[in-house]
């Protein structure tokens, strides 16, 4: 398999990749905790293996999930001497579910905190920015045969993705002229 343009074959990115999976979930968890003031043990990603233990009834907590990632359709390419950079932007869609007796309070605190410039500045430090949010939905959930208050809000974040590929710049081409 080739990893630069000097030989035929598929190219994979070289260098560091942006955070995805658990790394991205940790960044998002820190952001949610920072904006809501919830303790680290009370904010965690959904749909993980192993699944975290659900807090006892009477505790306010948050579970979040990444529901989609949409990339722009037309990335830009910036040619360097050794590599080519592919620049694109992603929209990361999230669902945040706030549970417990203070679920609505925490959900509205989070929603309002999204619009505070300093909170977005902190998010910018990890390469993300707030794009938009949806309305808060009241969706009580039956957990362990008990109704638990639950308030959901959807949020979209954006980020710039730069991937490097081993596409070499043409700096010297052997040319042979023939004729008269």
- Taking 3-state DSSP, the helix, strand and coil percentages for the chain, each rounded to the nearest 5, stand at 20, 35, 45
> Dihedral sign, CA of 108, 109, 114, 115?
positive
For domain 21-165, the CATH class is alpha beta
C-alpha span between 166 and 150 (Å, rounded)? 48
C-alpha span between 84 and 169 (Å, rounded)? 8
89-128 confidence digits (pLDDT tens) = 999 999 999 999 999 999 999 999 999 999 999 999 999 9
Place of tokens 């949610």: 32
Mean pLDDT, residues 53-77 taken together: 94
40: phi then psi, degrees, rounded to nearest 5: -55, -35
């Amino acid at each position: 398999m080739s990893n630069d343009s000097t030989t035929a074959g598929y190219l994979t990115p070289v260098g560091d990749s942006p955070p995805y999976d658990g790394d991205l979930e940790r960044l998002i968890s820190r952001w949610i905790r920072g904006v809501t003031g919830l303790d680290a043990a009370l904010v965690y990603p959904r749909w993980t293996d192993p699944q975290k233990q659900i807090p006892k009834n009477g505790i306010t907590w948050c579970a979040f999930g990444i529901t989609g990632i949409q990339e722009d359709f037309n990335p830009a390419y910036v040619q360097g001497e050794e590599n080519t950079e592919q620049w694109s932007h992603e929209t990361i869609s999230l669902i945040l579910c706030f549970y417990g007796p203070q679920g609505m309070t925490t959900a509205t605190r989070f929603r309002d905190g999204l619009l505070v410039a300093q909170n977005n500045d902190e998010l910018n430090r990890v390469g993300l920015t707030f794009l938009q949010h949806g309305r808060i939905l009241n969706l009580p959930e039956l957990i362990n045969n008990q109704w638990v208050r639950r308030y959901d809000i959807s949020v979209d974040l954006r980020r710039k993705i730069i991937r490097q590929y081993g596409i070499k710049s043409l700096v010297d081409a052997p040319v042979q002229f023939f004729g008269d």
